[in-house]
Amino acid sequence: MNKAHPLLARAQRYPRRAINLNLPGCCYDTLIGAWRDVATGALAVELPGRHGPHTKKQDIETGEDQKSE
Amino acid sequence: MRPGALILSSRFDFTCDYVVSALRKRGIGYLRLNSEDLPDCAVTLDPVERHMSVIIGDTQFLIAPTSLRSVLFRRPVFLRDYGDDNRTAQERFARIQWASFIRNLSLFDNARWYNDPTYTYKAELKAIQLYNAAQVGMLVPKTIVTNTPQYGNLAVLGDRLAVKGLDTVMIREAGDEMFGFTTFAMSSDLTDPAWASAPTIVQEAISCKTDVRVTVVDERVFAVKILVAGEGVDDDWRTHKGAAQFIRHNLPDEISGKCVELVTTLGLRFGAIDLALSDNKYYFLEINPTGEWAWLVDAAGLPIDEAMADALSY
């Protein structure tokens, strides 16, 4: 049973990327529960271009829904 | 403060920022608890009185059944083992204990959970999904789960087969990350004895398909077609992720109703459902009880953030 399962053998391999624990120009406000733009104080999500990832873990996951961590 | 909505998440779950923004516009009191922030909070839970106090800085939040109306649960219901763990014993210990603490908040079961982790756990199971989808009258591709496809009666599935993991195929190895997309094969290709090492979903492939992502929040249904270069893709659209377009799509009322019914049948209030549209028929592929949706707010203009805030405010 040393041979890889075909699904694993066919899996795409990516270099694992480090998660950037900061959004540039933003800081996390624990009381508000959201990222704020440091310069304006506005919620990052309300800024044009919406700073930040659209899925968990900054879209680093290769699938849509890496839910584990 | 006695928040009406509780958000259980992590700092980098930016989807929750969309919800926070919409809740603030509605003037709804909420508390967002992130797993990585919990050690910096003073948390006390009385399980019999069902009362929780959370102190963040100088601010105290009181969670009680009389005031808590809804919970947005964005945490995993189980921790997957990706094959490496560089954490210290203390870090692993704390992670496990806090994860349990979050699950224990199911105690507040009179609130509306999006979704209740108990039901999420079961709804994550693909066999359960396929069975219930068929039960509510959705078209489901013929499917078997097997570790011996070479011995299975694949003829009933057709010549071209979709092959995928029974759970997410994601493994970390030596600094790399491996992810298994749905692959396609002919039945005659599935003769490798290595298939025996793990169960696999083998499914009738839906040809000439367009993927449709349906997001259900209570009774509200949002759908997009997923196109690449203006057309549907026959393989796993995620392999074309950078080129994918998400186009608003009006589902027939019957299909929309079945999507809501499936979510309800599984005990959920939220679900992200993958359908395949082929020859004017909608086939159920899978449902993700904790599926992502924030990218659709921007890419397709779907007000799912508003719908979620409405749901939490109700």
Looking at domain B121-139+208-313, what is its CATH homologous superfamily? ATP-grasp fold, B domain (3.30.470.20)
- pLDDT bin (cut points 50, 70, 90) of residue B80 is low
With an 8 Å Cβ cutoff, are B292 and A63 in contact? no
Q: How many domains does chain A divide into?
A: 1
pLDDT by residue (tens digit) across B87-99? 788 888 888 898 8
Percent of chain A with pLDDT over 70: 61
Q: What is the mean pLDDT of chain B?
A: 92
Q: From CA B211, how far away is CA B227, in angstroms rounded?
A: 8
Comparing CB atoms, the residue among B7, B56, B180 nearest residue A30 is B56
Q: From CA A59, how far away is CA B238, in angstroms rounded?
A: 12
With an 8 Å Cβ cutoff, are B170 and A9 in contact? no
B235: nearest Cα among B190, B276, B199: B276
Comparing CB atoms, the residue among A13, A30, A65 nearest residue B290 is A65
Q: From CA B244, how far away is CA A42, in angstroms rounded?
A: 30
Residues of chain A with C-beta less than 8 angstroms from the C-beta of B172: 16
Residue A67 domain-assigned?
no
Q: From CA B179, how far away is CA A54, in angstroms rounded?
A: 19
CATH architecture, range B5-114: 3-Layer(aba) Sandwich (3.40)
Angle between helices B15-26 and B304-313 (to 10 degrees): 60
Q: From CA B202, how far away is CA B144, in angstroms rounded?
A: 5
Encoding tokens for residue B74?
């964005």
Q: How far apart are the first and last CA of chain B?
A: 19
A10 in B contact zone (CB under 8 Å): yes
Comparing CB atoms, the residue among B164, B239, B290 nearest residue A67 is B290
Task: Determine how β-strand B160-165 pairs with β-strand B270-278.
Answer: unpaired
Q: Are B234 and B226 in contact (CB under 8 A)?
A: no
Q: From CA B302, how far away is CA B196, in angstroms rounded?
A: 43
A19: nearest Cα among A68, A51, A53: A53
* Arithmetic mean of pLDDT, B235-258: 91
With an 8 Å Cβ cutoff, are B168 and A1 in contact? no
Residue A65 domain-assigned?
no
Residue A1 domain-assigned?
no
With an 8 Å Cβ cutoff, are A45 and B74 in contact? no
Which of A14, A17, A54, A59 is most worth mutating to test chain B (most B CB atoms within 10 A of its CB)?
Answer: A54
Question: Between residues A1 and B26, which one has the greater pLDDT?
Answer: B26
Statement: residue A25 has pLDDT above 60: yes
Which residue is listed with tokens 């959004």? A23
Matching fold, domains B5-114 and B121-139+208-313? no
Residue A35 domain-assigned?
yes
Residue B14: its pLDDT value, please? 87
With an 8 Å Cβ cutoff, are A14 and B12 in contact? no
ipTM score for this prediction = 0.86
Q: From CA B207, how far away is CA B153, in angstroms rounded?
A: 20
Domain residue ranges in chain B = 5-114, 121-139+208-313, 143-204
B25 in A contact zone (CB under 8 Å): no
With an 8 Å Cβ cutoff, are A68 and B15 in contact? no
Q: From CA B216, how far away is CA B133, in angstroms rounded?
A: 14
pTM higher than the cut 0.95: no
Range of the domain at A35: 6-59
Residue A22 domain-assigned?
yes
With an 8 Å Cβ cutoff, are B20 and A45 in contact? yes
Q: Distance between alpha carbon A29 and the CA centroid of its chain, in Å?
A: 18
Residue A24: its pLDDT value, please? 81
* Arithmetic mean of pLDDT, B157-165: 91
